[in-house]
Amino acid sequence: MRFADFRSDTITRPTKEMRRFMMDAEVGDDVFGDDPTINRLQKMIADLTGKKAALFVASGTMGNEVCINAHTQPGKEIIVGKESHIFNYECGGPALLSGVQMYPINENNGIITLEQVKSAVRHVDVHYPQTSLICLENTHNRSGGIILPLENIKSISEFAKSNNLKLHLDGARLWNACVATGISLKEYCQYFNSVSLCFSKGLGAPVGSIVVGDKDFIHQVHYYRKVYGGGMRQAGILAAACIYAVENHFPKLEEDHNKAKRFAEAISEIPPVKVDLNTVQTNIVIFDVDIPNFVAEEFLTKLEENGVLMLEIDPNRIRAVTHLDLTDEDVDMAIDVMRNLLK
C-alpha cells in the first residue's frame, strides 16, 4: 500500500537524477580538506549567503549546536523561542554540549519581537548568568512554517550588535522563506553572525546541513564538528546530492507551498477542523479538530488505516507537511479521507 506521507519534508527520497549526480561525484578525504565536491558545496553556499565561509555538517541539529558551542562559554545564557527547534527537539543540547542555560521566550505565532529580546537580556549581576547569544528560527516549524518578518530580524540584529551579543539563525527551512517572499538568502543572512541551513528537508537531499559565518567562526565550528564526531571522509557523495538539490529543487519549493495552501483551504471547510490560514505561508499546515475528547493520536491511526500519514505535534494538534514526494493526487486523497472521517 502506498501512503500519502505528510509527516515531514524529511521523508523525501533522492530522485534518479540526484542519485546519478551523486554516483559521479569526485571525492577526497574531507577531514584533510581534500574532497573537491564538499569544497564546491561550501563555496557555493558561502557565495549564496554572502558569508565568508561555510562548513558541511551531518544534520540541522549538529549545525545549530556547533554554532552555539562556538558563540558561547559554559555558564552563559542563550535566548531562544519556547516553541523553537533548539528548545524542543535538540535533546537539551545547549546544556549538554555547551554548558549554557536557555531562556525561552513565548513567541506569537513563531515571531519574537525586539521588546521581548530586550526584556530577556540579563542585567549584569553576580547572581545571573550572562546573555551571550540570541537564536531565531525561520521558517518556524511548530508555528506552521510561518516566516519571520524581515523588520523583526533587522531590529533584533541592530540591538544584538549594539549590546555585543551574537545572533544565530536556525534556517533549516530558510529556503522556503526565500521562495515565499522573494527575499534572497544573502539579504536574510547578512543580519546574523551564523546561519544553519538544511538540505534534507524540502530540497530533497538524503543527508546534510551547512553552517555559514566568517572565517574565524567557521574555524571554531570546524573544531566542534570534529569533537562531536562529525568529521567525514569521502563525503562528496553526500555533498553532490546537496548541490543537485540547490540547483534543481530550490525553485520548486513554490509547488510545495501551493499544495499546502490548497490542502489547508480545503480542510478549513470541514466543520470540526480549525486551521489559521494566515499561518499557512510555506509548506506546513497545523490544525486541530474541535470534537469533544478529540485525541490526535487516535485520529492519526484512522488516517493511517486510510493511507494517509501525518504527525502529532501536541495531544490535540496535527501537522501536515507538503514536499517533493507528494503529488497533487496525494493531496486530494488526504482531503477526501479527512472529509469522510469527519463528516
The domain boundary, picked from 249, 283, 299, lies at: 249
Residues 118 and 157 placed together within one structural domain of the fold: yes
Provide the β-strand partners of residue 140: 146
Tens-place pLDDT, residues 154-203:
999 999 999 999 999 999 999 999 999 999 999 999 999 999 999 999 99
230 and 278 assigned to the same domain: no
Provide the CATH number for the domain around residue 294: 3.90.1150.10
pLDDT at 174: 98
Res 275: pLDDT: 95
Number of domains in the chain: 2
Looking at the fold, whether 224 and 258 belong to one and the same domain comes out as no
Q: Looking at the structure, do residues 30 and 128 belong to the same domain, yes or no? A: yes
Q: Mark whether 206 and 141 lie in a shared domain.
A: yes
What is the pTM for the complete model shown?
0.95
Q: Do 153 and 273 fall into the same domain?
A: no
Same domain, 229 and 267: no
For residues 261 and 217, state if they share a domain: no
The pLDDT, as a whole number, for residue 295 is 87
Q: Based on C-alpha coordinates, what's the Rg of the chain?
A: 20
- What does the pLDDT read at residue 140? 97
Same domain? 37 vs 65: yes
Of 267, 266, 247, 264, the C-alpha closest to 256 is 264
Q: In the chain, which residues have pLDDT < 50?
A: none
Is residue 155 located within the same domain as residue 276?
Answer: no
CA distance 327 to 259: 9
Last residue of a domain, one of 200, 234, 249: 249
pLDDT at residue 61, as a whole number: 97
**Domain coverage including residue 153:** 12-249
> Quick one: which of 267, 135, 141 has its CA closest to 202?
141
Do 299 and 213 have their domain in common?
no
Q: Facing residues of 284 across strands?
A: 321
Is the separation of the CB atoms in 147 and 181 below 8 Å? Answer: yes
Please say which residue of 249, 279, 297 terminates a domain: 249
Q: How far is CA 132 from CA 52, 73, 246, 255, 304, in A?
A: 22, 8, 33, 39, 45
Q: Residues 243, 259: one domain?
A: no
